[in-house]
Amino acid sequence: MIAKLLISPSLEDIKKEIDQTLRSHLGSGNTNHPDVLYFNADSKLGIAEARKIKEHFSLKPYSAKGRAVVLEDASNLTIEAQNALLKTLEELPKEGLFILGVDNESKLLPTIISRCQVIHIPEVSSYPTPGVGIYIADIERLLRISIEERFEYIEKLKDREEFLYALVNYFHKNLASHIQSGSTDFIKELLQAEEWANQNVNIRAILEYLMLVMPSK
């Protein structure tokens, strides 16, 4: 699996994305999970920590499908530590997950960045606030109607990118209730959809796929 580089000026937004990604990978956002090696934002990250990371990935998972390493603030990595991690990033185990958060990619070596999937986390303030608000009723209606009607809605939609952000925002804000209702699989699909959008996949195609897998009330 490729490492994920999360970029946002907001540490809180990075933490939320880390939580969602861990839930998708491990089935739990617990940072104390035995298969997770977690470094918070004020951790020192030198050669010793780089060795711990390498050793962590060399061990078999305890209870999850794979092992994970999280650096809330990868800008704490020394140059020596970054160079020491290059091979680890290149040779991650099949089910290994390496998450690096940073507020600005310029703080990392280009060789680190080139070995990661770069994900720019949209700032909450960057969501078109009026648009998000007007889509709430539509989203709740989409949960109740047929797939054919959902497709018709997407076909007529004028600003599909804005709607995708609204859909993600809606489920993030109501995360607890959706987990209780058994909608965790769809939350995972939304995480994947965000990645596709960042990779410039056609927004209409993404939304049509989400309409297929969206749960019904």
Is residue 37 domain-shared with residue 131, that is, in the same domain? no
- Same-domain check for residues 113 and 132: no
Q: Percentage of the chain surpassing pLDDT 90?
A: 46
> For the chain, what is the domain count?
2
Q: Check whether residue 11 and residue 113 sit in a common domain.
A: yes
Nearest-angstrom CA–CA distance, 213 and 97:
25
User: pLDDT (tens digit, 9 = 90+) per residue, 98-144?
Assistant: 999 999 888 899 999 999 998 888 765 444 444 556 788 888 899 89
One domain for residues 44 and 23: yes
Q: Are residues 102 and 21 in the same domain?
A: yes
162 and 100 co-located in one domain: no
Q: 147 near 211, Cβ under 8 Å?
A: yes
How high is the pLDDT of residue 179?
Answer: 47
DSSP, residue by residue, 130-153: HHHHHHHHHHHHHTTS-HHHHHHH
Pairing label, strands 3-7, 68-71: unpaired
Parent domain of 69: 3-121
The chain-wide mean pLDDT, for the chain, equals: 85
| Distance from the Cα of residue 80 to its chain's centroid | 27
Same domain, 100 and 25: yes
**In this structure, are 131 and 97 located in the same domain?**
no
Query: Given this model, what pLDDT does residue 29 score?
Result: 56
Q: Would the pTM of this model clear 0.75, i.e. be above it?
A: no
Pair of tokens at residue 48? 């010793």
pLDDT of residue 129: 45
Band the pLDDT of 42: cuts 50, 70, 90: very high
How would you classify the pairing of strands 97-102 and 116-120? Answer: unpaired
Are residues 86 and 164 located together in one domain of the fold?
no
205 shares a domain with 172? yes
